[in-house]
Amino acid sequence: MKIEWVAASLALLLLSGPAVAEQCPALLQHELPKLRSKETIDLCEQFQGKALVVVNTASFCGFAPQFKGLEALYQRYKGDGLVILGVPSDDFFQESDDAAETAEVCYVNYGVTFPMAETQSVRGSDAIPLFRQLAEQAGGAPRWNFYKYVVDRNGKVVDYFSSKVEPDDPELIGAVEKALAE
């Protein structure tokens, strides 16, 4: 009887050890619907162990040309483990109600290849859990479109940047490199 108990305990320890060590950070324990797709973006599955720039976007915002800079940033660092996650939002009334139109702006007009979610709420009581957690860690919710949250490989916000900070800004690049080094 004692041998069976020891064997069962060892089996549980062996099974739970790697799972606990590789547990996904709370920030990534979410799924988002993928833009113009029936698929979902499982943040743990796709982004665990990677550095992230999470940005709330809007197709008809004056900052929309930042899509080009975000794509360039993604291309520059994706081989090092960076992923950019675009989350369209109509919280500031500058996103289309038509997902096809949003997709056209992102994919066709700006050539975005990084993951894009369907339109979500990113601030206030309606904010999706991902953005509530980003705001809590960073100490601030998006005050406009194209706020950029830089997240390290462990799911911790390294820094965040307002809409006015371009994707090629040295401070943003420094935060991305810090997140990649964590």
Active site residues: 61
Two tokens at 76? 């520059």
Nearest to 175, CA basis, from 55, 87, 59: 55
* Spatial distance between the Cα atoms of 146 and 65, rounded to a whole number of angstroms: 10
75: phi then psi, degrees, rounded to nearest 5: -65, -35
Among residues 25, 76, 55, the alpha carbon closest in space to that of 182 is found at 25
DSSP state of 53: E
